[in-house]
Amino acid sequence: MRTEAKMTGTATARATGMSQSKLSKIENGMLLPSVTDVERLVAELAAARETRIELVELARSLHAEAETRRVVLHRGAHRHQQTISRVEARAATSRFFQVNLVPSLLQSESYLRIVLGTMPHSEQEAAVAALRTRRSRMDDLAKQFVFVLSESALRWRMGSAELMAEQVEHLAAMQRRPNVRLGVVPWSADANVVALHGFHIYDERVVTVSVLTGNATITDPLDVREYLGLFSRLERLAVRGEELQGLLKRIAEDHRRLG
């Protein structure tokens, strides 16, 4: 269209309020133009009405697709807790899987302080306050909370032997809540499942993953379905009921004996 209009790149960029380098990137497929960029270009280049409508709608649809596939990285523990709190507030079912850490909603106060111990005091207090808000939602019996842990999450020593034993006993008490379902994958299970990291799933809409430098939020429907499938496979490996109670008792006793 620019060639047909006999306009240079420099003149077109100036007329549409963008840099020549930006226009060059758009023309060479290196940059997705905004809807406003496309509207200005088709107007300046005197495109036919049908072409204008087609290109503007194409820009809108491409941006909508890019937005669903975006992974957002949040920095700061309390900001992450606040973000997750808003997601949990809307979720009817929240699912949690952890490999070597007790999920924050199930952590005892002592365990939580150890987890947050490397943060500045002000950041710790903000994170604890945000977490308390999240935990209060577990009193809403209309919401379901499903937890799957590996046995190694309960044997990974985050503090003293007594602290770990108390944390395991805290889990045993939490799982008696009517809207909490807890399962533990024992080390002896023939897992044959690769779970590279822990993750949380909220309904069938959002997945969050914690990494060393931040927390990723995943909303793409295809990605969310993959995590749902993995969670289902892990859940089938977990023990519950009396078998779980016996396992938790043995783990607590092991911690105390080692201590």
pLDDT for 135-167, tens place per residue? Answer: 888 999 999 999 999 999 999 999 999 999 999
Whole-number pLDDT of residue 71: 55
Instruction: Specify burial of residue 190 (Cβ count, 10 A radius: 0-12, 13-18, 19+).
Output: exposed
18 pLDDT more than 60: yes
Q: What is the pLDDT of residue 197?
A: 93
More reliable by pLDDT, 63 or 94: 94
Provide CB contacts within 8 A for 234, sequence distance 6+.
Answer: 97, 148, 185, 193, 195
Residues 90 and 134 sit within 8 Å (Cβ to Cβ): no
Q: What angle do CA 140, 83, 234 make, to 5 degrees?
A: 70
Q: What mean pLDDT do residues 203-213 have?
A: 85
Region 88-114 average pLDDT: 92
How much is the average pLDDT of 216-243? 93
Specify which residues 208 forms β-bridges with: 200, 217
Q: Which residues pair with 217 in a beta bridge?
A: 72, 208
The mean pLDDT value for 24-31 works out to 87
Q: What share of the chain is helix, strand, coil (3-state, %, to 5)?
A: 55, 15, 30
| 70: pLDDT strictly greater than 60 | no
pLDDT (average), residues 214-240:
91
**CA atoms of 176 and 57, how far apart (whole Å):** 53
Which has more confidence, 212 or 60?
Answer: 60
pLDDT at 97: 98
Architecture of domain 71-258: 2-Layer Sandwich (3.30)
Map residue 189 onto helix, strand or coil: coil
Is residue 75 pLDDT above 60, yes or no? no
Q: Are strands 214-218 and 206-211 parallel, antiparallel or unpaired?
A: antiparallel
pLDDT, mean over the chain: 88
Which DSSP helix (H) or strand (E) runs through 198?
none
Q: Where are the domains of the chain?
A: 9-68, 71-258
From 259, 24, 50, 9, select the one nearest 159 (Cα to Cα): 259
Which of 32-41, 53-62, 69-78 tops mean pLDDT? 32-41
Q: List 199's β-bridge partners, or say none.
A: 97
The pLDDT of residue 84:
73
